[in-house]
Structure 1
């Protein structure tokens, strides 16, 4: 049986970082080929093409970088590659993986991985994460599952993964869904079916600027009225509880929805936006009736990316609502 043909694309991140002579701290230095050469078992799993897309920390990646990366991956898929592994910094994996999930419509697997410890650290987790990602990308059972994130021998769906700790190798979790699989004995075991069909959004132009505004105790919402003048095209409200904001925010939000799409997400680590329980001013029923779009199970970071991608694809207002509704009606 022939080995799968995979591409490993490195953008940088902690997994590529080492300390230079005389420098303080670690910074990206290693290429995709360097990372692959450090794990000889990889050659037993697949035929690999190594590509260094960039060399930067995850915090410096932009949506434009990921749009270009998605196009590159699709081109390689069209050319016969069976799967792709993206290496990057963990600071933004929960965002970049979801954006890739929206933009790469192919059924071939896209795996995103990285490391919590630099390449020279004791117990560096990068080599194990890279090998596990190769295993998942080469599995026929990974096809059709969209973009997956593989870290710490766990497999997570891009729509639900979140970074939960600043330093632990077990940092990543999916609070609303749990892992969808695990890697054991150099094979992947999937424990659940894909939660929903791919959105298959057409390649957008430049993603517009979308603001995230977080509700907190005592905030009067004065920032809301400034958003249109600051050049934002849309907004995500990271609300309290099940989807609630201070009553003082209601007039500003009522005005804002007349000027741009406004999505209602929640700041809790898990759980959906409610739609039909609380009825006071500033509650989810009140806000949805005023035109806010519930984000379902998407957190604010992912809701921002979905809204920006849909707007960049010139989706209609009703189309935007329908796409978000899919994250409130997931079927296992």
Structure 2
């Protein structure tokens, strides 16, 4: 009876498993690269961390079983709809999503824009497969469940829990190919720590998200095509022209520096805009504000700037913006809002 009463007091957390390194296996205990991702199922993940039962009533669903480099718009839409359906249930207090690290920041930001609840949503992954010595997946998963079940995490937006740290979806990024401390929030800073079985928050995002978002995916079966054109010395328009010819509704220009436009490429971007594609100037640098009317006359060119969003997150916001409007003025407002 005592254990049943204890279980009733615990939060109810659902784990949605999508695959990734956290569910990966290697040839030996020292294999930390060259392993196979997405081989372990959700029930096995839960059984591997029995300590979670002390902090939450945990249930699991296997929604996908993929390495995250294969994540698609269709996966995002399906995941977002499932998250919203679960969070609408009174007996679900929070959600944890296990995910490969390669595109985890993108999935987190997408959900940050489309989840319609203040209940905690936490993405978690691992940089080492489950079979490795000092695998980081089990403690990360425990912390994610702890965070998703915490009342203190409500209203904080979608979060990523990695390495005892709490990061906000909008600003976090993967910074290293292989080390366990890869996830960081440069300049703007993480939200807090998880220590001693408790989350400690020190800041929150000032940008709108989740329950305050204007985006609704409930009736969407696809997203507009938006592609990224990467800036570099001696750049040409081959990729840009191909994307436009393939029907891109938007182009993220991941320019050098402050989103500078190479002399050879600017005419192609102007032509793409004249054909109806929305052009968003972003930067490959990874930090800082993209200055409107800085390295280009955005007002005259009818371009949009990405604010502080990196190119891969700018793509997500533009796709969702295009489901609502084709006005560059309104899209610029959206980039300064989210």
185, 191, 215: which one pairs with 1:201?
215
Contact 2:292/2:298 (<8 A) preserved: no
1:59 aligns with 2:69: yes
Higher mean alpha-carbon deviation, 59-68 vs 292-301, is at: 59-68
* 8 Å Cα contact 1:117/1:124 also seen in 2: yes
Query: Matches of residues 20-59 of structure 1 in structure 2 within 5 Å?
Result: 25-59=35-69
2:284 aligned residue: 267
Kindly report the root-mean-square deviation, in angstroms, between the aligned alpha carbons of the 2 structures. 1.7
Candidates 6, 17, 22, aligned match of 1:10: 17
| 1:188-245: CA deviation from partner (whole Å, max 9, x where unpaired) | 0011023222224111441122110011111133433333212212110001111212
Matched positions, count = 318
Match of 1:223 in 2: 239
Q: TM-score, normalised by structure 2?
A: 0.90
Query: 3-state DSSP class of the match of 1:149?
Result: strand
The match for 1:73 is 83
- Unaligned 5+ segments in structure 1 are 328-332
Judging changes above 3 Å, is the alpha-carbon distance between structure 1 residues 323 and 225 closer, same or farther for their aligned structure 2 residues? Answer: same
TM-score, normalised to structure 1's length?
0.91
From 121, 129, 132, the counterpart of 1:110 = 121
Three-state SS of the structure 2 residue aligned to 1:248 is coil
Q: 1:90 aligns with which of 101, 104, 109?
A: 101
Q: Is the 8 A contact 1:107 1:146 kept in 2?
A: yes
Kindly provide the CA deviation profile for residues 79-115 of structure 1, in whole angstroms up to 9, marking residues without a partner as x: 1211100001111101111111111121111100010
How big is the shift at 1:249? Answer: 2.0
Aligned structure 1 segments of 4 or more residues deviating by more than 6 angstroms: none
